Structure 1
Amino acid sequence: MKSVAIDFNRPTSPQIFNFLRDEIVAMKLLPGTKISENTLADRFSVSRTPVREVIAKLVNWGFVEVRPQRGTFVSKLSLTQIMEARFIREALEIAVVSHVAEHRTDELIEQCQNIIDQQQLAANEHDALKFQYLDDAFHQTLSDFTHFERAANLIQSEKAHMDRVRNLSLQELGGQYQRVLAQHNAILNAIKSADPEKSREAMRTHTREILAILSTVQNMHPDYFEEHSADRDITPQII
């Protein structure tokens, strides 16, 4: 496994976490892969202490699981977690965008438009990971605008359960970049129009996008999913 240079003038744990999260989301570390504290410590030229901290955080985010007497593994995708995360995210983000539409500012609209413009460039380069990070930035900008920090943090953590599925769809399914961009533009246009109802509907459509691709991704990569995820009903609940 290739060594990774760490900037020891900055805290090491966040750097290691961000790197491993990127590898998991980008599917460079595939679901079910066994990971070793010693190997990671050697890879980053650090002691096992920051590695343990990072693994604990990855467990909390749902990216890694520790199996007693067996080891630490990259978590397989769970339809149960994905569907629950989507449900929570939809409820929160609809509330967020409604609030934003009522209190929007020119500065916020400019920030969001800039992110969408950068997403288009990432789409042109077929850079799925960059596109997804900008997707996070778009939603984080909206939720941060509410100044409800707990809501913003919960949206971010719940979205993590869907990141790998989204990344796979961007890499392997045609038309995904433009679909997401069109949905972001619809959300922003509704906000510009100061229309909470249109904003809610645009966000509802966007958060349910994963339902259109989930079965396809599962059929393409059944080994990435937990065995008991099979035959799960993914019909969206109306909120």
Structure 2
Amino acid sequence: MSLPRPVLLNSQPVNQQVYRHLRKEIVECVIPPGLLLSEKETANRFGVSRQPVREAFIKLAESGLVEIRPQRGTLVRRISVRQVNDGRFIRSAIECATARRAAENVTPEDLAALELLLNQQKLAAQNQNAMEFLALDDQFHQKIAEIAGCPMAWETIENIKAAMDRVRFLTLREVSPPAGLIIQHYRIFDALASGNPDEAEAAIRSHLLLLRNTIVPVDQQNPDWFEHEE
């Protein structure tokens, strides 16, 4: 499988850049499940030594995206339905709490920042740029955590949502178009603007339930991409 050589920056740790590039390619379905990643070939592709690639593979394994098989290579895992559901449950618990606090703390400046993100999301949707839309989606949720005064909440979510991100990409492409997600984001925005913690929590909870409702049709359309643990 031939992939373009990414451009790495001198200002950032190499292992982190390799990890982010590979994570993005797995989430975007550029690198499919079942593919064996060679440490040597990946190092040659990025133009780096094997050590940062090895470190990137370990982090990808911790995220549940790959399985390191000694002497055989690193296997890109199928999407774990259990991992997706566990991640959604944890994320919902965290974000419901941050939404409540954000509704109590939100300022006009915060609302302006959220509205700007919503406008950018609409533009990304119009341009059919799925990955930009998902990046802005993350920024919207991250901003709510910042408004709540708990940026670590988003850091925790970032560490558990790799499997969810793969499903999000597939649902955005096949099941759940951006227009509906934008409407849900505006409901969250309106709840925060009203300063009502109960409404903010309900809006976030409803929004995150969408992933549970869409995983079944995506699984049915892409059976080779998913694994169902007993």
Alignment correspondent of 2:197:
196
Task: Describe how 1:67-86 pairs up with structure 2 within 5 A.
Answer: 67-86=69-88
TM-score using structure 1 length: 0.90
Tell me which residue corresponds to 1:15. 17
| SS, match of residue 66 in structure 1 | strand
Q: TM-score, normalised by structure 2?
A: 0.93
Q: CA RMSD in A?
A: 1.6
Query: 2: CA distance between counterparts of 1:125 and 1:150?
Result: 32
- The correspondence for 1:153, drawn from 144, 155, 159, is 155
217 and 142 in structure 1: CA distance in 2 versus 1, 3 angstrom threshold: same
Q: Is the Cα contact below 8 Å between 1:97 and 1:196 reproduced in 2?
A: yes
Identity %: 37
Segments of structure 2 that go 5 or more residues without pairing to the other structure are none
Deviation of 1:158 (Å): 2.4
**Residue 64 of structure 2: aligned partner:** 62
Secondary structure of residue in 1 paired with 2:6: coil
Aligned to 1:133: 135
Higher mean C-alpha displacement, 15-24 vs 33-42: 15-24
Residue 232 of structure 1 is matched in structure 2 by: none
Retained in 1: the 8 A contact 2:142–2:151? no
- State the alpha-carbon separation in 1 of the partners of residues 214 and 100 from structure 2: 26
User: What is the identity, as a one-letter code, of the residue corresponding to 1:223?
Assistant: D
1:210 corresponds in structure 2 to 211
1:97 equivalent among 86, 94, 99:
99
Native 8 Å contact 1:136 1:156 kept in 2: no
Pick aligned residue for 1:37 from 39, 53, 70: 39
Determine helix, strand or coil for the equivalent of 1:73: strand
Amino acid paired to 1:215: V
In structure 2, how many angstroms separate the alpha carbons of the residues matched to 1:116 and 1:84?
28
Q: 2-side partners of 1:133 and 1:212: how far apart?
A: 22
- Indicate the SS of the match to 1:208: helix
Runs of 4+ residues over 6 Å off in structure 1: none
Aligned residue pairs total 228
The structural deviation recorded for 1:149 is 4.0
Alignment partners' CA distance in 2, 1:22 and 1:6: 14
The worse-fitting range, judged by mean Cα deviation, of 57-66 and 214-223 is 57-66
> How far apart are 1:223 and its partner, in Å?
0.7
Aligned equivalents of 1:64, 1:13: Cα separation in 2: 16
Amino acid at match of 1:93: E
The answer as to whether partners of 1:61 and 1:160 remain within 8 angstroms in 2 is yes
Q: What is the match of residue 168 of structure 2?
A: 166
